[in-house]
Amino acid sequence: MTRKFFVGGNWKMNGDKASIDGIVTFLNQSAGVDNVDIIVAPPSPYLAYVKDQLKSSVKVAAQNSYKVAKGAFTGEISPAMLKDLGLEWVILGHSERRHVFGEQDELVAEKTVHALENNVNVIFCIGEKLEEREAGNTKEVNFRQLQSLVDKKVNWDHIVIAYEPVWAIGTGKTASPAQAQEVHGWIREFLKEKVSADVANKIRIIYGGVVNLHTTAGDIEIELWSRECPLASRNFIQLCMEGYYNGTIFHRLVKGFIIQGGDPTGSGHGGESIYGEPFKDEFHQRLRFNRRGLMGMANAGRDDNNSQFFFTIGSEPARDLDKKHTLFGKIVGNTVFNMLKMTECDVDSNDRPRTIHKIIGATIVKNPFDDIKPRKREHKPVEKKLNLLSFGDEAEEDELELNHANKVLHKKGKSAHDVLDDGKLSTQVAVTPDELGDYEPGEDAECTTSTVSSIRAKFAKRKKVDTRYCYAIIEIVVLDFITYIYSTVEEETEGMKMYSALKMKFKSKSKMIVKMRDPKREEQSAAIMERFAKRLRCSDRSAILFDKKINIDENKEDHEEEKKFGIDLDAEDLEGNDWMLNKFVAEDEDSTISKAKDANLREESEDWYDINDPRNKMNKRRRGEE
């Protein structure tokens, strides 16, 4: 049987009027999807506002309701109030209500019964905590929560079971598809045993599925988002079950962008969906093409999805694909490297890979749609879509002529002489059947054998010669390259050697000098001044010669370098230290003689400097320039 799809979104205690307006605008832009219930659950203060603003087929649900119609229960909401607002859904038994607010199984069951009595559909939540799963009590906990509802003998037609483990709520973790599908199976078995097989088959349980795609590059494990994109997920799973993709190739590769497949014709213009016609796009606000390894539906326009799909291979987000292609799955685990292996090849001008990879088969690991049954495939004659070509009219005329020629010449071999309408080409055969009757095959057998052998020997000899020639050319090029490299190195002259040595010496000395900001800089300066003052205080040359120097590290190699180049870097202009003891005394002059110059003698004396500005206008007139 076919169950109606269900997609629900719980906003919890999040959002404000501005953010809600944005979500409502987005929801109103979508026309909705047939055979799918889409539910949103805003916070209680915004229930009426969201209900009034939504224009599409999206339904509004409350996040909680109480077990009685009215009374002194501050902060609670009754199903009758929800019904009065025109709401049809309510979420009950959510893990946060159970574990944060302490709601027990019995209370959740009573609230569910009262909501159903008021004709409000219920999203009944179940799930286990992390310690309960690790202790192996997953089945026991979920069965206990369901048993409280079974005991009330409720109408299961208006209930949707939402399984989500408590340890995945608000932590960023999610249950693996295998874990979710395992619990789904247990739930259906429990309902089949405790209620009926009909209820077990009909009831909707929310979670996802997994497909393992076998290719020539290795297995690719795909996790489908069946809740967010039920149409695309169902289409892909059923086509895999029917073997529709077996033998199909990945016919398109856009480097750094996508790799595309799923077309039985291998041309990029074929493929059909399980619905018999193209199905609608499915966009979700949380799903974006933001990394590699994502799976989307290939289409030629809006709501034109069939069988073709693609994987993203770029490391950067592919924003051009958002809101244009349905994103319905992702590659999980290390199998993404098998997909990337298919992209390691060249492509032609039409983005067709030169190395072709095929889909060998597919394994449905976890199927979220228990009612899928493979169809019997009918082999329909392939219709050529000539309108896909820019020269469609001419192609149609050529097709008619070719069909006519096939009918006339279907009993004999055809050539271009028969098919083409060209007067220069004769339809008569060059050798008649009578002449062929006199031919004996053995006549030319020996000649043919010898000819083939000679041709093979000729090509083998040419191959050897070509190989030797190539190796010789390579050796010559390598030798020329090496010679060129070593010939370009110039020999260092004596002057350059001296310069390099001095440069290295001064560099090494500069490393020993204390930096300006270093506290030891002042100590070093004081030591040098003390050394100089001590030398001045010495009374004779012997004291200077035997004076102890300040402990300053010196490079012992300096003396060897000085001997090597014949330069004394410490040589002084005046030999000896006698000049330090000399005192400069000026000669006595006559005190009656003035040392000032007479300004009246300026014109006559040669000791005066000319301080006139040549650019001054008066000086220019004196010189007769003006």
Which residues are catalytically annotated? Answer: 94, 164
Which strand ranges, in their side-by-side order, compose the sheet holding 258-261? 252-254, 258-261, 305-312, 294-299, 327-331, 218-224, 209-215, 359-366
DSSP per-residue string spanning 148-208: HHHTTT--GGGEEEEE--GGGSSSS----HHHHHHHHHHHHHHHHHHT-HHHHHHSEEE--
CA nearest to 295, candidates 344, 223, 362, 239: 223
CA nearest to 111, candidates 153, 178, 66: 66
Type and span of the H or E element at 82: helix 79-84
Structure tokens at 271: 């493929």
Residue 533 CB neighbours (<10 A): 9
- Would you call 595 exposed, middle or buried from its count of C-beta atoms within 10 A (0-12, 13-18, 19+)? exposed
- Would you call 561 exposed, middle or buried from its count of C-beta atoms within 10 A (0-12, 13-18, 19+)? middle
Structure tokens at 620: 């220019």
DSSP per-residue string spanning 505-558: HHHHHHHHSPPTTSTHHHHHHHHHHHHHHHHHH--SHHHHHTPPPP-----THH
What is the C-alpha separation between 43 and 547, in angstroms, rounded?
Answer: 94
Phi first, then psi, for residue 190 (nearest 5°) are -65, -45
Structure tokens at 602: 């300026």
Phi first, then psi, for residue 210 (nearest 5°) are -140, 140
Burial annotation 24-41 (CB, 10 A radius, 16+ → b, else e):
beebeeeeebeeebbbbb
What is the C-alpha separation between 268 and 248, in angstroms, rounded?
Answer: 11
**Alpha carbons within 13 A on the beta-carbon side of 582:** 7
What is the C-alpha separation between 143 and 128, in angstroms, rounded?
Answer: 10
Residue 179 CB neighbours (<10 A): 17
**Cα 411 to the chain's mean position, in Å?**
58
Contact 95, 125 (CB under 8 A): yes
Distances (CA, A) of 151 to 66, 113, 143, 147: 19, 11, 12, 6
Phi first, then psi, for residue 357 (nearest 5°) are -115, 145
Contact 63, 94 (CB under 8 A): yes
Structure tokens at 416: 């271009």
